[in-house]
Structure 1
């Protein structure tokens, strides 16, 4: 652990993440707000969000292929550089008198969405490539804590300045954070020889699928463990409706829930690496998936604000803890030259499931129909938890047999 914190590559990555997360986070809070508050804003933002979901679904496999084919550092530099150029151009246009129209806001929203779609799988593959496997659990825990703190900071800053600072100045701040992140990624020591992909020639788009077809138990386990994250994405829509219609509470409850969630997620980033070191990634994930499933399954029966806020801790611990252990498991089990395509496959499936659920839940919005949305989500989570328990047990048994076999070979 101390070795990881003394590694300057880790320090550069965390600093770059903080810069880009806060800068882009402020903008990606401001842009939807400006879109939604304009004329017919709700419909415009809804259509923009649907369009970007479709685009992200289409480009995610392509991004995964790029990540496995080219230098991950160059991809990260490209993302930060492109972000700086686009955001700086719009900021400069604003300073020169451009009145931002809806189309400009949609372009900025789309650029930010595409940046996230490229950045997260790229940094995931980059971290797996440059760090020793013994650091994977602590690394992912630290990245989770950093991500949560950055989100909280971005939200707090956005709340303080969105209504008082002109958009061109917000964009300038965002552009400078992209530039700072570019410089930090540039400083990370990295040689092309570290990535064996470059020596393999053409990268097949279906490499991740072929790998998972050869490891069906791993596929089932990783697929089942996506559900808490999908649940969080869906409840970002469900919770405001639930709070207003079922709890009969105001927006302050939603804000408090978000704050408590951030605390719980940060605690997961601290605790889960230690739990996984003792129990293993598989058992840790079963614990965290179970915690999230249990919390979601009882929420629909709760009409008390303090109890709802208490459950937010379990939701946060379950989702963030699953992500920490799941990322470590993928880093350990998926070869680095396949990680981009394998990760993109799961991301694409997650986007598809999330979109389908949102379409269904939108039709069930409002009390008392909102309860059926939670019933559906609870059923899917319980089913996924059962699948994770079975697949996780098989994975652990297979790993134990492999370890015993290797020990016999070494003593032969």
Structure 2
């Protein structure tokens, strides 16, 4: 690999900031749903942030295609340091209105996510030979999920602390030998800002040779976007596949940030450590998918694999309606992580085979806009009081199970023509 050192540094830098980001994004939903008992308020915040990302996402894709990707990453980490550190300071100094700054940290992090990940993959592709592209995407998936698993483990400890050095997981007690006090949010935010600094320094040291020529285009953003829409009008099957195979992803974001904290608190009647460990098991399931999914479904094809995994996700959502045991919740969330990551891997494999490289970015933006609209609908729906009182959050999981079954049914209906498309 020609840019091996650059790729290695990129992975390390992404891992460093990813751990603290993960802890932050675990802590914030728990703060609103359990500590403040303001699930509806968080629903409004999440809706507003998602609505903004509806417009920011396509613009971020255009920025990634137009400017130097290393400079974009440096801008992200530099501005992330300043913004998160400032909000951490305001959170620490606040008297009674802390939630406003916590909400802003959530918004800034989502805003960063929406440009960070498209830029990360584009930069990785730019410095990697085509023959090694499969390897680098696997490395990024494994690194990302490993980082999130570590964030879940650390978050479980930092959010609740330990009682006289004793920590509990899966009903078992572990003696750490020393006491850890629970961290207030401002400390978690300062830790997040610090990792942005470390990531910035690592990224600034990267030296690489670009392996792809980036064509300069004078077309406006709107005209580029219209080209993507025209392609999908002429290729209806790709439009159907791109959206139906994205149904599970929409449910993951809604459940992970919005429903699961309330579910753990109201249905399982457990604390923050169960929520954080759940996120770790989700990441472990995703890791299994990264290592195994192509081997399992290689012969059957990506579309069949997505159908099977969508069915698995639906069954898990239905099971959560009746579950009251934290141990089963961990197992269920591991399966959801496996299904989501497996679908993502198989989905991108299919898209790479059927979509030209010169329009793939714009098509990704279109699919993301449609997916965001689904998420906005669910956030509004699940913010209604019937889903937020008592343990009624379980009804939301039933609806998500039906939704994922709809995506699976669409893929089953178009299975033959979709499989034929990869043979042409």
TM over 0.5: yes
Contact 2:281–2:330 (Cα < 8 Å) also in 1: yes
C-alpha displacement at 1:166, in angstroms?
Answer: 6.3
Confirm whether residue 189 of structure 1 aligns to residue 208 of structure 2: yes
Corresponding pairs, count:
394
Contact 1:289–1:385 (Cα < 8 Å) also in 2: yes
Correspondence for 1:24 among 12, 18, 21: 21
Change (3 A) 1:159 1:318: closer
What TM-score, normalized by structure 2, do the two folds share?
A: 0.78
Stretches of structure 1 lacking an aligned partner (at least 5 in a row):
403-412
**Which residue number corresponds to residue 342 of structure 2?**
321
Correspondence for 1:381 among 357, 379, 404: 404
**Which residue number corresponds to residue 295 of structure 1?**
316
Correspondence for 1:225 among 226, 236, 245: 245
**Which residue number corresponds to residue 168 of structure 2?**
none
**Which residue number corresponds to residue 405 of structure 1?**
none
Bigger shift: residues 69-78 or 55-64: 69-78
What TM-score, normalized by structure 1, do the two folds share?
A: 0.80
Bigger shift: residues 346-355 or 38-47: 38-47
C-alpha displacement at 1:270, in angstroms?
Answer: 0.9
Confirm whether residue 395 of structure 1 aligns to residue 415 of structure 2: no
Please show how residues 6-405 of structure 1 align to structure 2 within 5 Å.
7-30=4-27, 45-90=42-87, 99=94, 102=98, 103-161=100-158, 164=182, 170-186=188-204, 187-191=206-210, 194-199=212-217, 202-203=220-221, 204-236=224-256, 237-242=258-263, 249-251=269-271, 254=275, 256-275=277-296, 277-300=298-321, 307-363=328-384, 364-365=386-387, 366=389, 370=393, 372-400=395-423, 402=424
Counterpart CA distance in 2 for 1:159 and 1:367 is 24
Contact 1:19–1:177 (Cα < 8 Å) also in 2: yes
Contact 1:70–1:198 (Cα < 8 Å) also in 2: no
C-alpha displacement at 1:205, in angstroms?
Answer: 2.9
Query: SS at the partner of 1:131?
Result: coil
Instruction: Give the structure with the larger helix fraction.
Output: 1
C-alpha displacement at 1:268, in angstroms?
Answer: 0.8
Deviations 1:112-170 (A, max 9, x none): 22111211222233334443454444433332222222122223333444565566654
C-alpha displacement at 1:207, in angstroms?
Answer: 3.2
Query: SS at the partner of 1:205?
Result: helix
Change (3 A) 1:135 1:53: same
Change (3 A) 1:173 1:208: same
Contact 1:282–1:392 (Cα < 8 Å) also in 2: yes
Deviations 1:83-105 (A, max 9, x none): 123234556x579x955753444
Contact 1:88–1:175 (Cα < 8 Å) also in 2: yes
